[in-house]
Amino acid sequence: MNFLTKEFVWRARETLGLESTDPHKPKKEEIIAYLGQVEIASTLGAVIVKTKAELDTVTDKPDYTPAIVGADSNHALSGYYQWLGGTWNYMRDLADSITRLTNIGGTGNAIMAKLRLGVSLSAVEFAVFVPAANNTDDVTITVDGVEKPIRNGLGNELDPDDLQVGFPAMLTVIEGQEGYVLINPANVEAVVLAAKAAAIAARNQAQTARGAAEDALNQLEAAVEQASDLAFKRFNRIYLGSHDDDPDTDNEGDELEDGALYFKSSDKKLKVYSDVDGWVLATPDTSDFLHKTNNLSDLPSRVRARQNLGLKNLAVKDKVGTAEVEDNSLTTQKYKNSSVTDQKLNSAKLNTLAGVPRIVAAAKVDGSGDVLWASNLTCSRTGTGSYEYEFVQALPSSKAGKYIVLTTADVSGHIPRTTAKTKNGFKTGFTTRRTTTPYPFVGSSTGHDVVVIGVW
């Protein structure tokens, strides 16, 4: 609810405290609501005051007497109280999940705003305001001294002109996202163009007559106020507020429309309405998702999962032999026929192979220095009796020197000399050459094989 005070109901100007606005005519609805507050307080024996300081002066009440502080300048002090044990005890906020921000100021990128009297910032889930300037960069908004960022629905910073002068902006609070989420980035629509045209016209009139500029400013302010109220009313039909269960009608008792939203307080989830599926979660439910950190332990049956993936028995075998390979393919039947030589083979045994020398690269080179096939190795001929080799995946520097190169030699049994190549702390390759004649690779005999054995 919005707590009403006599100063607000019988205010002098349309906007409380803003003398440039039109004179205010008291509204029957506000008077009835204010007198209703007084009547309820009188019936219940409750105390209704404007500030916490006023409440603290009232000390002659029996235990459990209720009280309301409706419009303290410190919004954290507004709320429901109860007299017990010789003191006024704070019970809860004056809950308003939807509100309209007032006193908009600051800049397009650093907005300043106020809450209406009696509204607690901690209870606000949706807020509507009309920007006073277009944004050009990231945006923050300070509401009653509390600064938070405004971002889009994906959690990213706003683009320039996502907030525009005269175009009502709607903000919401979504669990898991920092600050406020802008749910209607501004588009160039007729209402925006009309507001800009009115502002330009007001500026031009101000150059010729101060009085005309004042009139134009008043008209623009009234139009912005009307646009804000219209946006609030429209959104009030879409967002139904906080409920314990799925509502059957909108806030006015009418039939639900596609796209209606409400916040389910028991689950802390936002839900959207469809005339086909009814109320569904507005964001996906991740309770059935697999989590990487669980390493498949969150599956009811890991065996069934392997079967669904086509792995079946292969996933638990310690090795796959040549009998399982046929035309570069493996079949389920061959998995079943394979033999397991060590049923106790596990990751611990595999880890012991980390420091065991093995083939880490190999290649077959023809007489022109072209690689016919290779694994983790490239080769180029740089001259008679000289070749350069590069590892596709360099060896870590901590293993430097822990490998040996084997190549085919010439008919005289010469073994080429090997020289390591390094870069940035990694073994990147090697060269083989002969510094004396006869060279090991000459004429048509330059084709050769290369095998590198070492620690990977």
* pLDDT at residue 383, as a whole number: 72
- Tokens 């007497």 correspond to 65
Pairing of strands 239-243, 371-375: unpaired
* pLDDT at residue 191, as a whole number: 54
* pLDDT at residue 388, as a whole number: 84
* pLDDT at residue 412, as a whole number: 54
* pLDDT at residue 157, as a whole number: 92
* pLDDT at residue 320, as a whole number: 53
The domain segmentation of the chain, as residue ranges, is 6-92, 98-234, 292-345, 353-454
Q: Which residues pair with 374 in a beta bridge?
A: 363
Query: The pTM is what?
Result: 0.29
Q: Which residues pair with 88 in a beta bridge?
A: 83
pLDDT block averages, 10 residues each, the chain of length 456: 70 80 87 74 72 91 85 80 90 71 92 78 81 93 92 89 89 87 72 69 74 75 77 77 89 85 86 88 73 69 66 54 46 43 48 67 77 83 76 70 68 62 81 59 59 74
